[in-house]
Chains A and B, each alone.
Chain A
Amino acid sequence: SAVISQKPSRDICQRGTSLTIQCQVDSQVTMMFWYRQQPGQSLTLIATANQGSEATYESGFVIDKFPISRPNLTFSTLTVSNMSPEDSSIYLCSVGEDRGLADTQYFGPGTRLTVL
């Protein structure tokens, strides 16, 4: 199974600033996924990040607000830009097993973001 780490584990940020979250995987994977979990809610897919191409965003999420980088097969970053209190959530990085397809899926420990 893949081992995923995220940095930072938590942060408290001021309104209007940006935060970049890092996701590191211990093996090469084709696709990485970024999810958001708002307080008391389920997980919502933000975007799918493929190495060497632009991320694919889900409805309701845009690149200007959540720019994503995927410089290689083991690393990705998600930036939460121009933050507001509504962005307070847990942000999770995920990868799939089996050539990067979402068969068995593994999650990082998450980044708990609070925006004041």
Chain B
Amino acid sequence: GIQVEQSPPDLILQEGANSTLRCNFSDSVNNLQWFHQNPWGQLINLFYIPSGTKQNGRLSATTVATERYSLLYISSSQTTDSGVYFCAVTHTGGFKTIFGAGTRLFVKA
């Protein structure tokens, strides 16, 4: 099956810093999503981005489908950004969403 690798596995930032999270996938996809899981366990869909670039406030994401990777940018990080960021993909022709292992982010005040 398709493999999804995220890096870095863990990240500690000082409040106000910027960061880039990466997601590599092993095969073509028709769907790629970024999720944030807050410390209480709730999963929030940040972006649906099978290709191209999107921005939402301090967050933006870029997917280069031909090179099989996606990046999530967090600018001016805040303590509320802490949690786990997951990349999840759906293989082309499939309907199951497969999750990466996640990047655990802690933003210090």
Chain A residues in contact with chain B, CB under 8 A? 1, 31, 33, 37, 41-45, 48, 58, 90, 92, 94, 96, 101-107, 109-110, 112
C-alpha gap A25/B35 in the complex (Å): 20
The reply to whether A48 and B95 form a contact with Cβ atoms under 8 Å apart is yes
In contact, B86 and A43 (Cβ under 8 angstroms): yes
Provide the bound-state CA to CA distance between A92 and B35, in Å: 14
Instruction: Give the distance to chain B from A26, nearest Cβ to Cβ, in Å.
Output: 16
Contact B45 A109, beta carbon cutoff 8 Å: no
**Residues of chain B at the chain A interface (Cβ within 8 Å):** 31, 33, 35, 41-43, 45, 48, 86, 88, 90, 95-102
Q: Are A31 and B43 in contact (CB under 8 A)?
A: no
Q: Chain B at the A interface: mostly helix, strand, loop or mixed?
A: strand
Q: Count the A-B residue pairs with Cβ separation under 8 angstroms: how many?
A: 53
Considering the chains assembled together, what is the distance between the CA atoms of A100 and B48 in angstroms?
A: 15
- B95 x A105 contact (CB < 8 A): no
One of B31, B35, B41, B86 near A103 (C-beta < 8 A) = B31
Q: How far is the CB of A79 from chain B (nearest CB, A)?
A: 21
Whether the pair B97, A45 counts as a contact (CB closer than 8 A) is yes
Which residues of the partner chain B approach A105 to less than 8 Å between Cβ atoms? 33, 45, 88, 97
**A104 and B33 contact, CB distance less than 8 A:** yes
CB distance from B40 to the nearest CB of A (A): 9
Enumerate chain B residues within 8 angstroms of A90, measured Cβ to Cβ: 41
CB distance from A14 to the nearest CB of B (A): 23
